[in-house]
Amino acid sequence: MNNDIPVQTLGGQGEVMAHAVDACVHCGFCLPACPTYALLGDEMDSPRGRIVLMKEVLEGGLPLLDAAPHLDRCLGCQACVTACPSGVPYGELITAFRGWSEPQRQRSPLDRAKRAAILKILPAPKVFSVAARLGQFAKPLAPALPAALRSPLDLLPESVPAMQPSAAFTPARGVRRGRVAFLVGCAQQALTPNFNAATLRVLSRNGIEVVIPDGQGCCGAAALHTGARDEALKLVRANLNAFNPDDFDAILSNAAGCGAGLKEYPMVLHGEPDEARAQAFAAKVMDISEYLGGLLADGTLEPTLPASRPLKVAYHDACHLAHAQGVRAQPRDLLRAIPGVTVLEIPEGDLCCGSAGTYNLEQPELATQLGARKAKNILSTQPDLIASGNIGCHTQIQSHVRRQGDRAPVMHTIEILDLAYRGEL
Amino acid sequence: MSTEKLALTTNSGARKPASAGGAHNSLAAELTRLLGPRKVLSNLSERLNYRYDAIQFGATPLAVVLPESTGDVVAAVRAARAAGVPIVGRGAASGLSGGAAPTEPGLVISFTRMTRLTIHPERREAQAQAGVITLAVSDAARPHGLIYPPDPASFRTSTIGGNLAENAGGPMCFKYGVTGDYVRALSFVDADGEEHHVTRDAFDLAGLLIGSEGTLGLITEATLRLIPPATHTRTLMAHFPEVGACAEAVSAAIAAGAVPSKLEFMDRACTNAVEDYLNLGLPRDAEAVLLVDTDGDDLNTVQDELQLVADACERAGGTVRRAATDAEGAALWRARRSVSPALGRIRPQRMNEDIVVPRSALPDVVREIRALGDASPFRLVQFGHIGDGNLHPNILFDPRREDTHAVHDLAHQIALVAIRHGGVLSGEHGIGSMKRDFMTDAVDPGTLKALWNVKRALDPHLALNPGKILPAEGVNG
Ligand SMILES: Cc1cc2nc3c(=O)[nH]c(=O)nc-3n(C[C@H](O)[C@H](O)[C@H](O)COP(=O)(O)OP(=O)(O)OC[C@H]3O[C@@H](n4cnc5c(N)ncnc54)[C@H](O)[C@@H]3O)c2cc1C
Ligand code: SF4
Ligand code: SF4
């Protein structure tokens, strides 16, 4: 799309944005993939429409305030990236745009306080754990609360377990075949510590030793995608210092959102001195299912014990795994490798579940509609188990599946593998 | 210089009104009063997004209506008429001739929320509102053992309303026909806001609406014919060291009696654009690639037909590869469907031609167009539904660095090649505003006058999609 984005004055992030706008031929192939377009049926809430809006704002032809409601409704799910044949890096555009525009936004004091709180609490697992448990007590009060306060409570799972810090080093069981670094994540540590415990057990079982480097922190994705670029940069740099890519075969994450965030580091630092470091780092980043899927493909994955009975597993593609990282086959292959497991495909599988980071908090209405639609689609397959590879999807799907009266367990792919290894599936 | 030439660039700045419209404009206010705020868009941020289709940016509308029923359309048309502003219908805006891009500020009626769809298996019919996505018709028909054959490459995005308005075709149309061949009846709202239901008999008013690009009426609903799918399909790909040879093979195969269900061609630049995107293992060095499906209920006949095509290809110097599995066939067709947008990776803008020539002229036409492209400073690529003689020569360009007038001139040269060989300007994408200037080359003055008479009869105020299809009266006529 032809444009007059003033790249000279916008710097590295301006180049990122102008490149994406250039690449769009406004063919509209992305429209049917977009969840907000599916719900609202208007062009401003479609990927193509948002690209035009961002272009107009960057060119100075449209006030940011006018475009903001439509840009805010974007889930960042990147389904449009999968659908786009012209290779438009929409994810980079919206992320860079949010970073550029946030400092110019005028937000209400309540809004600002809420955002600040989220950004403070999310990356600090200990604080999050306490907050989550406080929230747990408040949950019975939820129906009486105003929507702005109710929505964060909806995000919380049924029970919030105690924090379990992970060991800094987990040795390989048997012959050592590899050495990886692991990003423990933030919110997930507090909400679902078993994801990490299962990850360490499964890797160790496969002869992989795992290091949890000191000094690592939140991946920065939440800050980045809400436009808090300065905070994000601090987190990015801390992780670049904590992980030396030369020391490991891979840098693993078991949260799709975090993995996608880590892979974005080169874009975040485009045109800055650390860009090369970020590239070396990102080249080593893999999702846990991508890494184990590699072992499976090589024929070197340790076989699991069979499931105790035939199990139908509905696999939900987390947007940040399927669309942002292109990881679709590996989690399914891993599940299918467990004797007795059948993997079910979910209707409208490419449609976001509505969780999308802090979306539940910012756009509770759309998030709820999408969550309900996802749960309905999942339950239509009549699964024994529901699997996904992302903490956000996990809580969202769990909450909506329960609301629709179904008790099917919702688990991380790695938890299912772990159970199978232990003969408990 | 015509406005169409200027509008070849997507640089919207020149045509963007700073203040017209907005919450204060009276048309938007009246529409909101009639229809409620949910269905009316009046903010600049909203209206800016209803000024383009897949090829062109036009004027920013004063207001946009998203109707949810025919009643909403009627109310919107009447309000626009009362305000004396033009009305442009819009589907998914995947059009490739500027059809949905307004040439002047007015009302845009976007049908994307009118998506009611019912299948009547006993009558083999689908009843679809204008905003139903093409793919949705096939998806809904499939469980009843039926299909909807018109399949433009944009079928995941485009709407039935847009398909009807453009009389969209697709790879299947050589054997199965185009959108218009599947329309039994339709409903439309005329320029005065009257609703009509028409079938294919008497004056075949439905036929007149089909392909009229929103210039004669706004289609609100259609009754579409469905058919059972063929039991067997076989796919082959052939590649050729020269484009003309590919066209010769096609003519020979058809002359020998083959009626393939799909017959598509793409040249080397297309193949490479798709390879860059999908990495399917297509032959990057071939000058032309031909994709062919034969289908039917008797496997022997299907295979015999494929053999006829294979023989013709080999005689013309081509190399033939048969798809071993359905998945391989599907991958090849995915390649073809992705050509058009994958070209966006090469240059940000393109001028998309849509000529149709007699099949016997194909070898000469593709060679002449290739030569025109080679002699020009632009990247020119060709692909299309070669079985129908429907070719899409595309000129790829960068409006910031390349001369858009020279692009327009080259497009004109291409149109003249088609006309010289007894062809026409549009097979399926419509004339829109992109090829309106060429109409005076293609249609004699008397016929143009007749077309104007039809237009006046159905749209006496010239309110519906002005600036499309028909060149201004008096121009060369
Ligand atoms: C990548 C790509 C590939 C394509 N491949 C093909 C192909 O293979 N074959 C093909 O035929 N086309 C193809 N097209 C062109 C386009 O998709 C078709 O013309 C399609 O029919 C347009 O449908 P739409 O809903 O997007 O209509 P729009 O682009 O929104 O509108 C098209 C025209 O129809 C009018 N219109 C829309 N809705 C109505 C209505 N309800 N009543 C009256 N008028 C209306 C508009 O005013 C406009 O003139 C392709 C486009 C792209 C981007
Ligand atoms: S599919 Fe890609 S090129 Fe087409 S409109 Fe969407 S982003 Fe632009
Ligand atoms: S990222 Fe998702 S929500 Fe945002 S525009 Fe793309 S498809 Fe739509």
Q: Using a CB-CB distance cutoff of 8 angstroms, which residues of chain B are in contact with residue A28?
A: 54, 92-94, 154, 157
| CA neighbor of A93 nearest in space, from A192, A152, A21 | A21
Rounded Cα distance between B171 and A254, Å, is 44
C-alpha dist (Å) from residue A323 to A82, A363, B53, B98, B348: 6, 21, 26, 31, 24
Among B16, B49, B341, select the one facing A27 at the smallest CB separation. Answer: B341
Query: Per the structure block, which two tokens stand in for B278?
Result: 């999908």
Q: Are the beta carbons of B49 and A62 separated by less than 8 Å?
A: no
- At residue B14 the predicted structure's pLDDT band, cuts being 50, 70 and 90, is very low
Nearest CA to ligand 2 atom 2: A84
- Asked if the Cβ–Cβ distance from B13 to A31 is below 8 Å, we say no
Model confidence pLDDT, tens digit, residues A51-66? 999 999 999 999 999 9
Q: Which residues line ligand 1 (CB under 6 A)?
A: A 27; B 53-54, 88-96, 99-100, 111, 130, 152-154, 158-159, 161-163, 165-166, 168-170, 213-214, 218-219, 340-341, 428-429, 465
Distance CA A343, CA A327 (A): 16
Report the separation in Å between the CA atom of B380 and the middle of ligand 2, taken as the mean of its atom positions: 21
Optimal mutation site among B19, B45, B52, interface A, most CBs of chain A within 10 A: B45
Upper half-sphere CA count for residue B316 (Cβ side, 13 Å)? 28
Q: How far apart are CA B362 and CA B385, in angstroms?
A: 11
Nearest atom, ligand 1, residue B110 CA: 38
- Residues with Cβ within 6 A of ligand 3? A 33-36, 47, 50, 74-80, 90
Q: Which ligand is nearest to the CA of A350?
A: 3
Q: Nearest-CA distance from A193 to chain B in Å?
A: 39
A84 lines ligand 2 (CB under 6 A): yes
Enter the pTM of the model: 0.88
Distance, CA B331 to ligand 3 centroid (Å)?
26
Phi first, then psi: give them for residue A259, nearest 5 degrees: -60, -45
Q: Does A31 reach chain B within 8 Å, measured CB to CB?
A: yes
Residue B18 has pLDDT above 50, yes or no: no
Ligand nearest to the CA of A83: 2
**Mean pLDDT of all residues in B23-51:** 91
Contact B252, B312 (CB under 8 A): yes
3-state helix, strand, coil in chain A (%, to 5): 55, 10, 35
Amino acid at B280: L
Q: From the alpha carbon of B159, which atom of ligand 1 is closest?
A: 25
Do A26 and B10 make contact, defined as CB atoms within 8 angstroms?
yes
Ligand 1 closest atom vs CA B130: 41
Q: What is the structure's pLDDT at A121?
A: 64
Best mutation target, A40, A42, A81, A365, to test chain B (most B CBs within 10 A): A42
Minimum distance, in Å, between the CA of residue A169 and any CA atom of chain B = 41
Average pLDDT over residues A241-260: 88
Of A352, A362, A373, A374, the one to substitute when testing ligand 3's pocket (max ligand atoms within 8 A of C-beta) is A352
ipTM: 0.87
Q: Which among B10, B53, B345 has the least Cβ separation from residue A87?
A: B345
pLDDT-derived band at A231 (thresholds 50, 70, 90) equals confident
**A20 Cβ below 6 A of ligand 2:** no
DSSP string, A114-144: HHHHHHHHTT-HHHHHHHHHHHHHHGGGGGG
Protein residue whose Cα sits closest to atom 4 of ligand 2: A27
Distance CA A54, CA A93 (A): 9
pLDDT in tens, A260-307: 889 989 888 888 888 889 898 899 999 999 999 999 998 899 999 999
Band of pLDDT at residue A233, cut at 50, 70 and 90: confident
pLDDT of B13: 37
A410 strand-pairing partners = A386
Task: Suggest the residue from A26, A34, A64, A365 to mutate for an interface test with chain B (most B CBs closer than 10 A).
Answer: A26
Nearest CA in chain B to A34: B157
Q: Find which of A111-120, A173-182, A355-364, B11-20 is predicted with most confidence, using mean pLDDT.
A: A173-182
Say if the Cβ atoms of A25 and B49 lie within 8 Å. Answer: no
Work out the minimum CA distance from B311 to partner chain A, whole angstroms: 34
Q: pLDDT per residue over A194-230, tens digit each? A: 888 899 999 999 999 998 888 888 888 888 877 788 8
**Distance separating alpha carbons of residues B448 and B281, to the nearest angstrom:** 48
What angle in degrees, to the nearest 10, is found between the helix axes of B362-375 and B404-420? Answer: 160
Mutate to test the pocket of ligand 3, among A90, A369, A374 (most ligand atoms within 8 A of CB): A90
Confidence of residue B49 (pLDDT cuts 50, 70, 90): very high
Mean pLDDT of B323-335: 87
By most ligand atoms within 8 Å of CB, the mutation choice from B94, B172, B209, B385 for ligand 1 is B94
d(CA A269, CA A12): 8
Based on its alpha-carbon atoms, the radius of gyration of chain B, rounded to whole angstroms, reads 22
